[in-house]
Structure 1
Amino acid sequence: MDSEHVDMPDGSRLEGVEPALDPLCAAHPHARATGTCPRCGDNVCARCVDPSARGQAAGACAACRRKLGKDTIEPWQGAIALVVGGIAAQLAGASVFVVGVFWLMADGQAADPVAMQERLLGSFWVLGPSIFLTGLTMFLVGVATPWLAKARLKTALGLRGAPWPVFIAAPLGIVALGPTSDLARTLMVEYLPSWTLGSLDSLNEVARSAPLWAIVPAMAFVPGIAEETLFRGMFQRSIRAPLLALVLSAVLFAAYHMDPHHVAAVLPLGFYLAWLGQRTGSLYVPIVAHIVNNTAAVVGSRYLPENQPSILEEWWYVPIGWLIAAGCVGVIVYATRRRAAVVEPALEPALAPLPGE
């Protein structure tokens, strides 16, 4: 091995120095480097590497990551943002109905409050803008919270891709859980018929009467993007404990729909969406699954006959759906098996000090 020289601080040159067999980390000189930072070019060790940078020799080093911002928001920040965002979104959506009430009163059509309520809830031109404002508020809160907390949006929200089979299996799995959702709602209607606000009936009525080109974006794309950004992106990733994050995300997501019949129908889907977000580490996967589910619900409400047999009569659809969903889960687990060995930034434990620190 050829020797090298080293220039000393006093200007002299030390000859015959053997080169190091392995490069050392710039931040931790006693640790062997595993690669170089793609931003600053310094040697980095395993401790410095960003665990979200899979497929690279090394991700951004710790120093560059500090400049870029933290990986996720704090749990208390996520909780406050969820409460504030949920209330603000409901108020934003309700503002459209308030305008509608004043419009009907000015037109002399407010004599019958029940008829006025049914007219407003059954009108797409009232319900559509309400859904849009609700979704826009949720999306803005979900994005603004990491920004205000000086966290990186990419890691705080999970803006990353996933293997292509996941984007096929995830939507298929949530559609397969449709009979389970229908069963939960049917049981609520059967045993607790008065525990409802009538929201599902209103949504079905609007889905059957409004133009398809307008109803699909309003009822599928807007909720799919907005709700997943707030619940699966901002909130779920802020909680360090994986199981707690999954349960809270699913339960609070279902509870946000308020109508008990709607809550029961959404709950199993909420657990599936929360698991998708946690397993894949990607916000895009639950967004796609959510959009496909809502699109299927809209198309089904519009084109399927209203006098279909009850799910209680055709109960075998439920276990068949479970089998299909289980197969989809298996595909997703297999496709993301490499990611399972990588610690997510939001769940990354405190790094233990290296020897000598």
Structure 2
Amino acid sequence: MRVVPLTGGPVELRGALDAEITPAGVMPRRLPAWTKEQYQDPSVYGVTVMPSGVRLVFRTDARELELEVLTSTGQLDGDPRPRPTGVLELLVNGTLAGRRQAPVGNVLRMAGPGSVQRLVPGEPGTVRFTGLPAGMKDVELWLPQQTPTELVALRADGDVLPPLPDGRRRWVHHGSSISHCIEADGPTGTWPVVAASLGGAEVVNISQAGNALLDPYIARTIRDMPADLISLKVGINIVGLAVFRLRTFGPAVHGFLDTIRDGHPDTPLLLMSPVSCPALEETPGPTTTGPDGKITALGDPAEVATGALTLAVVRAELERIVTARQKRDPNLHYLDGRVLLGPEEAADLADGLHPTAPAYRRMGQRFATHAFAHDGPFR
């Protein structure tokens, strides 16, 4: 087996905008390094290093590959084992050729959700893919979308070459946990990856679970990225955390779009509202999780009259904003998120908020049917 350099060599790390050097190896991050000084909440860093949509891309004639990784996963004090680490998936010439469980490495112990974390150091583990077809082939090695994964070493029993250009358009997407897709059955089962595969695009998913809050550094990141297609899924975290009123929400959306348009004045841009979430449709946030594990809204519906946000209010405001801007921006489009997952599918929200793995795949299929249609916004 030959050691293949993880940086500065033939392997491309796609879906990551930064490669942070750590004592163990290389930690992919889905935001550029400069953004770290612009947020205080540690949860932002935590979801940024969860590599949803991140993959190693190269060509090889190897019949066997090894990837040594150091994962970091959480564990509540009362739980008998750490949270599932997810899987790594290998695609050969665009077809799934193997799935391997990500090894448990570091464990972050905590008394409860949001409490102080205590590191229990772990060791790197190795996943192996054997029996690959003979000859030179295109390889994509996808990292688990829910588990921070440091890349320690890549080994192959053949030559490894840089990938060839494939002509696919680059689609940049930003959203919440419902676009991060922690609950998907694997990294290629997230709805943006499913949609990109069907639409013949290559997605860069900079969604931030729990943190899709129209942060200016996200807009500037998208502004400065190469992008042929852009989509934004806005609203669920904003309502769930009660971070805006109607008076401030509209200008924040306009400012976010203005910043993106500074760098991409004519790029097709699809603005999506939230999928169905019964608890927040007519009741404002903030939210909590009840004893049954379901999300519950704590706001007062009467406050909608004075500017509190619900999902119904957010959808109406987003559609109003897009309609107004389309007069001078014909490449801006709107999609009601309930097209991807509607109220009749509430049973597919295991906790009342996050879709199940099969529902994520349906969402990807529906997005592709809408966006990549011959008359769709990404045509």
TM-score band (shorter)? under 0.3
Using the size of structure 2 for normalisation, the TM-score is: 0.24
Q: Which has the larger radius of gyration?
A: 1
**As a proportion of its length, which structure holds more strand?**
2
